[in-house]
Structure 1
């Protein structure tokens, strides 16, 4: 089997005939879902099943289900999970309670996701919350210091993996200091490399054994003044793989974001050349996806080994009573609200 180093989105709540033919031919490593793909639990379960049937294997299916304002599964059908900042605030007063609450919350997220066939969550966010930066991170961050972010990030990963959902840490090597939303423009971080290593990069370094990570579309001017991290051999090779020591499966952030320039084939080729393992394209536009498919190599060598390790993180599911878990979580969150 020759799997392509790509992850694709799709256009709507049902896999179309044209999409099915394209995906069979492209054979991507995985798929990613958004609100446009979700009508309800039964529909979503059918959709995830149809994606796996189309490729004839247990293909990973990703989603961004952080809680707070980044949640594709929404109330009233699904639980309203809190933003990361709430847990960080609790940590300042009750550290052990905060760690337990994060693990429980993410164990519940895993239960909810696996219930509809989703087995990779693009969470937790390990970016620091930096005063004065663009609000694209904001309350999605656990806190302003690497130690707190790493402790709560580890608890989040533990909770997800206990429920058979593989986590994706993001946005490596650090998005919190960005001066713009990379969905809309290319952010530039001008602080010195030494400061970034002590702050923004530190939480990722502490959790460098994570199975997957997503890059930041950000220029770190003191490291590579021209290229965002996703397409920078200096950032990927020297910082992410070297200084941070991350050796897991490295995916790009969405190639269709406005922080990047060039054709979609050029974006994909530059990302692979920089050292990313897999290309992420989210919006379901087939013309763009065809260009990404032209850039995406077949997974082999070290990238294939990393992909296999990421897939194994979906396998071990601990016994869990979601009603008891939610009750315990609510008790812990009461401490945060007092």
Structure 2
């Protein structure tokens, strides 16, 4: 039995289980993936049941995403799951920060896979500065190019060893943003040469990762008219200059950094060159609008989607308790 084609969109859902309307919608809309948030998570058994319901509704082993970075951005929390420190704190204090980030990725992957989640929206390759907005700063992995790349690479390798695909974010670099893109459109005023030496270079070094996420930022010296997510010029820069050839999704399309209707934003993002539209809030009316305008994947976007899914592998055998003890020792 052949699997139905998937649509160029990732959807959230409203609660702890799919209701009848959501089941029918997922079956009809056929999103490429689903994404979960704290509103969807209560216990391991409940979460495992929800991920199974989503896959059952679409009739295929679709990828299920989550933001389990650590610090402020972790959807799965105690008492059922580990409480992870902010990444910047860990990277600046761990005895061996590269090894600690690998172990962090491997242990997070173990928790995710146990509940049916196989994509994590991490690592971040944004370089923190003194002026980085507080919403992002302690989520970053360092303040220097080389350390950010090394830490991001290690976390991605840990996730993949645990059978979880990493999503590289926020391409082409969110570290200079002094506004919160959930609420406003940050403007980056530095020119191409400066960005190419730093922000863009971090993503160039990680461009082989299978999935990536755009940033809702306006790079005023490169494209003063459109945020990166909606800018053909910026998406071309991501593909050609940075060299990222993986499956490229938008950051949450409902964030206030973008203007226009939800449908208009999605159409502009896809026309600019994004492969997938990410919609997170579970609002059925908005999701229905997106299902109308987001096409089925085809051509290069389909090829990139297939390549990303081929990178999904079963977890490599390991002794989780031993790795946990090593992580605790390195980060004590």
- TM-score w.r.t. structure 1 length? 0.95
Aligned residue for 2:36? 33
Residue 179 of structure 2 corresponds to 180
**Which ranges of structure 1 fall in alignment gaps of 5 or more residues?**
none
What corresponds to 2:297 in structure 1? 299
| 1:310-331 deviation per Cα after TM superposition (whole angstroms, max 9, x unaligned) | 1122214211221111101011
CA distance in 2, matches of 1:180, 1:303: 31
Q: 5+ unaligned residues in a row in structure 2: which ranges?
A: none
Instruction: Give the one of 37, 48, 52 matched to 2:51.
Output: 48
How far 1:156 sits from its partner (Å)? 0.4
CA distance in 2, matches of 1:130, 1:223: 21
Partner of 2:26: 23
Q: Would you say 1:59 and 2:62 are equivalent positions?
A: yes
After the TM superposition, which parts of structure 1 deviate over 3 Å for at least 4 consecutive aligned residues? Answer: none
Partner SS state of residue 57, structure 2? helix
Q: How does 1:91-130 map to 2 (within 5 A)?
A: 94=95, 97-130=96-129
Query: How many pairs were matched up?
Result: 329
Equivalent residue, structure 1, for 2:262:
264
Instruction: Find the partner of 2:278 among 262, 280, 288.
Output: 280
Within 5 Å, give how 1:312-327 maps onto structure 2: 312-327=310-325
CA distance, structure 1, for counterparts of residue 131 and residue 53 of structure 2: 44
CA distance in 2, matches of 1:255, 1:170: 15
Query: Cα offset for 1:150?
Result: 0.6
3-state SS in 1 of match to 2:34: strand
User: Which whole-Å CA distance do the structure 2 matches of 1:247 and 1:105 have between them?
Assistant: 26
Give the RMSD, CA atoms, in angstroms: 1.0
Q: Secondary structure at the match of 1:175?
A: coil
Structure 2 CA distance for aligned equivalents of residues 148 and 137 of structure 1: 17
Distance 1:90 1:202 in 2: 25
CA distance in 2, matches of 1:281, 1:198: 32
Q: 1:133 to 1:98 in 2, by over 3 A?
A: closer
Distance of 1:175 and 1:106 partners within structure 2: 21
